[in-house]
Structure formats: C-alpha cells, structure tokens
Amino acid sequence: MKLSLSVRIAEAFDNKERSAMPFPEMVALAVKYGFKAICMRASVAGIHTPVEVIRELRAQLDAAGLAVSMVTGDFAVPGNNDFGPDGLRYIKPYLDLAAELGAPLIRVCMKRDEDIYWARKAADEAAERGIRLAHQSHCASLFESPDNALKTLAGIGRPNFGLIYEPANWFIAGYDYGPRVIERVWPHLFNVYVQNHRLNPKGQSPIQTWSKGEVRVDHIGIWERGGVEYDAVLGALKRMKYSGYITIHQAFAGVMPVAESVRRSSEYLNQ
C-alpha cells in the first residue's frame, strides 16, 4: 500500500473551492511524513487552471519525488451536484489535465442512469491515452450503496472504469462497508480514500443521502473511535495485498491544524 495525500486536507468541509495552505507547504508535509503522491483537486489545479501553472506545480512535485495519484478536475465533481456528470460528456480537458500532471486516474461523478452511456464513451476515450476513470463510493450518487455501485460498474462494462472505495460514505448512508464488501468490490478497486465521521443528530455538518435523507456528522480523525472501524478496513486491505494508493481525503481546515492532522493520519496508517 502506498500513501497519498489529498489537497482536500487544506479545504474546509463546506468549501471545496479554496485551499487554506500554500501548495509548497503541502508538498513539504507530504515529504516529511512519508507520502508517495498527492491527490490533486480543483482547489489547487483543475481544468480551469492555466497550463503554465499546472506545469509549475508538476515541477514542484517532480523535485520533491512525489507522483500524482489522481485528479479531480472541477468543483462540480466533489460537490456531487447536478453538474458533476457534465465532465463525462466532454472528457478531453480532464484527460489533458491528467496527462500534464502524470496522473493515471481521474475521478468522475454519476447521478442518473443516463450517465452510464457517457461514462462508457469517456472511458473509451481515456483508454486511448492509457488513463483510467473512477467513481467514489459517494452518498447521493449511483454509487451510494455497494449493490448499486456494482450494478453501475457492470452497466459501464469498461476495464478502465472502477471504484474509489471510501468507507465513510457507505457508513453514513447506512450500508455495510467492511471486509465482506471489500471482497465484493475488489475486482473494481482502483483507489482507496480514508476520512472519518461520527454520526450525531446534532452534528456540525449535514450530509445528504438518498437512502436516509439528511444525516448529520461530526468530523473525527481516522485514528479515532466512534466512526468507521478502520482497523478492520485496513486489515482486510492488507490481507488481500492491496498495492494501490490509500489517500487521506479528509477536510481538516477548521477542525484541527492541517500539519497535525497529516502527522497523526500518517502515523496511524503506518502502524
């Protein structure tokens, strides 16, 4: 397993468009705590970013010896809104972004059955450039439950379209996310996101689900108890010899100092 650090760690949970930390500081944190890659999002670089800026970011990463594990090219995809699937209809700018950053994987969004057709076309175009696409196990999407994720993946039917396994969203939506589910989705597993929440009816953050309506949560570290049982999740991935990236995907801005969150997350994952 290889550790990846998402630039989301410097975003606020309710604002995915701005990073609270200069990129060179984030790179330095990643190097200090043993990460092998950065997971890039539009808060730092997306399809809206001038190519000369993207190349400068790539140069910084190359100098630090860091890869880019995945790109999320716009704000609508992580926002999981009705515009999220639009990128599937014109995937070229996202492929160009991934190519500039040397990223092998692009995160996409699907909300409706009609998006399956466009996912097939986008995957075919991505395959021509040796790039893969993946969808997070995200609430209020076609991947909100393991069953529907597998059904959607079967409908797409492309070997370069897979799953970003992120147990916290399945936990929030009320579905099993543990070792048995990991075994079911294993053939489609392209990436692993880790973040953690504690269910709390009076929690600080509301999350919309299709299965349970609004669910409120408090944000906690992956090392803390009361949310996702990460000992079991990581143990299962280790037993199955998962060799891909595990990405710290938590938005810590406003929760705790970013540097502290990166240190404690890396210490827990490296145990």
Query: Per residue in 16-25, pLDDT tens?
Result: 677 778 899 9
Q: Within a 10 A sphere around the Cβ of 137, how many other Cβ atoms?
A: 26
**pLDDT, average across residues 264-271:** 92
Residues 6+ apart with CB under 8 A from 24: 60
CATH of the domain at 176: 3.20.20.150
DSSP element (H, E) containing 153: helix 146-156
Query: What is the count of structural domains for the chain?
Result: 1
Q: pLDDT band at 12, cuts 50/70/90?
A: low
Q: What pLDDT sits at residue 21? A: 85
The side-by-side arrangement of strands in the sheet containing 213-219 is 197-199, 213-219, 205-209
Kindly tell me if the per-residue pLDDT of 34 is higher than 80. yes
Residues of the domain holding 91: 2-269
For residues 167 and 145, the answer to whether their CB atoms sit within 8 Å is no
| pTM of this structure | 0.95
Q: pLDDT band at 257, cuts 50/70/90?
A: confident
Distances (CA, A) of 31 to 25, 27, 192: 10, 6, 20
Q: Within a 10 A sphere around the Cβ of 132, how many other Cβ atoms?
A: 20
